[in-house]
Structure 1
Amino acid sequence: MGSKIFADLHNHTTASDGDFPPEKLVKQARALGLKALGITDHDTLNGLTKALRAGDDSQIEIIPGVEVSIRFKRPYFTGSLHMLCYFSRERLSDDSFVQAFESILAQGRGEGLVRDRVAQINRVFGPKGGSPLLKRDLLVQDIADYSPNATRRHFALALAEKLGLGDKEIINQVIGNDSPAYLPSGIELSQGAAIIQRLPVVAVLAHPAAGSFPGKGHYKEVLPPIEVVEKILPEFIEAGIKGLEVYYPGHTQEHQDLLKSWAKKYNLVVTGGSDCHDAIERPLGVSGLSQSEFNLFKGAIP
């Protein structure tokens, strides 16, 4: 990014899918000379209190956040985009803020996602669906009977044992990623807009160009190409996002320049982070903001 990294604003801990507990990640940040660290675990606020306490001990400013999964199911894209939501540390002491945030996040995983997936399967493959394959509608209880933390395996078991689908190919037709009933994890964009509009957060579209990363590695993952993101971007603008993650290990210089032009066009703050998950493949301290860029970002937090 052409200047020393002052703040690394996109990182994960063991509260979601990172290798390091919050306290250890903060110690690593101190060792690297970072002055500010964003903790943005996937769809959870767990881990933030420990990170803030460790930040106080290490004299590193912790920016609390959450990486929210936003799901899409469209002819040109089925999958999820991610929205980083940052807020002041005082919000974690506000029970109404925490409860409101967690209640919306819960719709994107766990029981909320199971209910939505069951409804989608019934709309497509139920007795009254467009491609009826089931003798009766699938029930949420059919899935819950196997586990409170349902996976695709539990859906397969329910279809086989409770609805009598004995053919594995037909089961995969119903629940596979290519199924017209497939619903990715995450909340709807309308629910993401509710977070932005109801809660005191600054929302940032995460790694917009990572899906077009030309190299190998984990930064690309299963994200869509930048052309798809550009097509959806106006909807995020309308929802109320205030920033774009420009500096990112999976963004080329060309991508960064393009994203800066988007930020200028829509009057968005520029952010950046390493998306740290581990010590080798996605380490800490490789992307972030200069001190002046961080000050502009911080000024946007309610």
Structure 2
Amino acid sequence: MQACHTSDLHTHSRASDGTLTPAELVQRAHQQGVQTLALTDHDTLAGLAEARQQAQSLGVHLLTGVEMSCVWQGIGIHIVALLPNQQDLGKLNAHLIPQEAARQQRAQQIAERLARTLAPKPEREALTAQIWQQAQEYAQGTSLGRPHFAQVLCDLGYVTNQRQAFKKYLGSGKVGDVKTNWPSLAEATQGLRAAGTITVLAHPMRYRLTQRKRSHLLQAFQAAGGQGLEIVSGRQEASQTQQLVKEARALGLKMSWGSDFHKPTPWQDVGRFSPLPASITAEESILHWLH
């Protein structure tokens, strides 16, 4: 079940791995009735200026945000960081510079690995260059991600759609699933806090952890200074939402939510995600800190 929400605190634009430009994303959010929107592209603030200009023209309250990659016990974890004001943008940008360099290095490795898998040795160098060039064209100067490479694989005829590209080459454990030297959960959380942001552990159910291990993750996040938990991310079972509400309350974590929007689909759109429990109080909401 999906519900229409007036706030969406987790979205992506073409500045990272979304399909809409930042301006198009804000326009769509406005059309969907979203009044408070956080642009949280992966490890970059590149789309912020364009999104802010559009938001001001439409009367949408735009929050500065980012989704930062990190590692905990060998598992890739994402932190959504939300900035209540603009005075610390410089600190946040500086904190993200190593992330962008790591993403660039990772993208180069993805191109090389795909070429090694898809072509005989004499043709690999040329195919690497072709994959790299076409992926950059799709990225249009923004951070390169696996969806860009998925589209290249479609164009070159190795797969028929992006879903197949991830299933065969880019998904978890596949040749294009390159592990990056991300900072630890503690380093990322503490750095984001120092930059003035409010830190939220993103989509905790998607890490496929046991309840016990997820509990350890949340405790580690809180111990590092983490402040919030994403209790709804896109479409999920009501039982999962209730469990996350319980876990957030047990640790005193503020509650956040969002669509994790990347592209318009029938099952996941900006401002369209599973219902929030009516029992959440204003003081428990992350919005209480952001307004």
Q: TM-score range by the shorter chain?
A: 0.5 to 0.7
Distance 1:22 1:109, change over 3 A: same
Q: Which residue of 2 aligns with 1:154?
A: 112
Q: Deviations over 1:131-176 (max 9, x none)?
A: xxxxxxxxxxxxxxxxxx5224536989x99xxxxxxxxxxxxxx9
For 1:264, what is the secondary structure of its paired residue?
A: helix
Q: Which residue of 1 aligns with 2:84?
A: 88
Worse overlay, 47-56 or 3-12: 3-12
Q: TM-score scaled by structure 1?
A: 0.66
Distance in 2, matches of 1:26 and 1:60, equals 8
Distance in 2, matches of 1:84 and 1:192, equals 11
1:225 and 2:209 correspond: yes
Q: Deviations over 1:55-100 (max 9, x none)?
A: 111001001100111124x4xxx441111000034136x43x1442
Distance in 1, matches of 2:38 and 2:67, equals 11
Contact 1:22 1:47 in 2 (8 A): yes
Identical pairs, percent: 23
1:282 and 2:271 correspond: no
| Structure 2 unaligned residues grouped into runs of 5+ | 122-171
Output the amino acid matched with 1:82.
H
1:203 and 2:161 correspond: no
Contact 1:246 1:271 in 2 (8 A): yes
Aligned pair partner of 1:263 in 201, 225, 248: 248
Q: Which residue of 2 aligns with 1:13?
A: 13
Q: Deviations over 1:233-277 (max 9, x none)?
A: 211111111111112224311111111111111111111101111
Output the amino acid matched with 1:297.
I
For 1:275, what is the secondary structure of its paired residue?
A: coil
Contact 1:11 1:284 in 2 (8 A): yes
1:109, CA displacement in angstroms?
Answer: 2.5
Distance in 2, matches of 1:156 and 1:17, equals 19
Distance in 1, matches of 2:114 and 2:28, equals 42
1:299 and 2:257 correspond: no
Contact 2:2 2:272 in 1 (8 A): no
Correspondence 1:53-202 to 2 at 5 A: 53-72=53-72, 74=73, 78-91=74-87, 94-95=89-90, 97-106=91-100, 108-111=102-105, 150-154=108-112, 177=173, 183-184=179-180, 186-202=182-198
1:296, CA displacement in angstroms?
Answer: 4.0
Distance in 1, matches of 2:58 and 2:288, equals 23
Q: Which residue of 1 aligns with 2:38?
A: 38
Contact 1:196 1:239 in 2 (8 A): no
Distance in 2, matches of 1:269 and 1:50, equals 29
1:239 and 2:224 correspond: yes
More helix by percentage: 2
Distance in 2, matches of 1:226 and 1:47, equals 35
Aligned length in residues? 231
Distance in 1, matches of 2:57 and 2:187, equals 36
Contact 1:80 1:184 in 2 (8 A): no
Q: Deviations over 1:16-46 (max 9, x none)?
A: 0101011111111111111111110011111
Q: Which residue of 1 aligns with 2:150?
A: none
Distance in 1, matches of 2:282 and 2:26, equals 21
Q: TM-score scaled by structure 2?
A: 0.68
Distance in 2, matches of 1:28 and 1:65, equals 18
Distance 1:8 1:274, change over 3 A: same
| Structure 1 unaligned residues grouped into runs of 5+ | 114-148, 162-175, 212-222
Contact 2:8 2:259 in 1 (8 A): yes
Contact 2:92 2:192 in 1 (8 A): no
Distance in 1, matches of 2:247 and 2:286, equals 16
Distance in 2, matches of 1:269 and 1:98, equals 21
Distance 1:293 1:108, change over 3 A: farther
Instruction: Select the structure of larger CA radius of gyration.
Output: 1
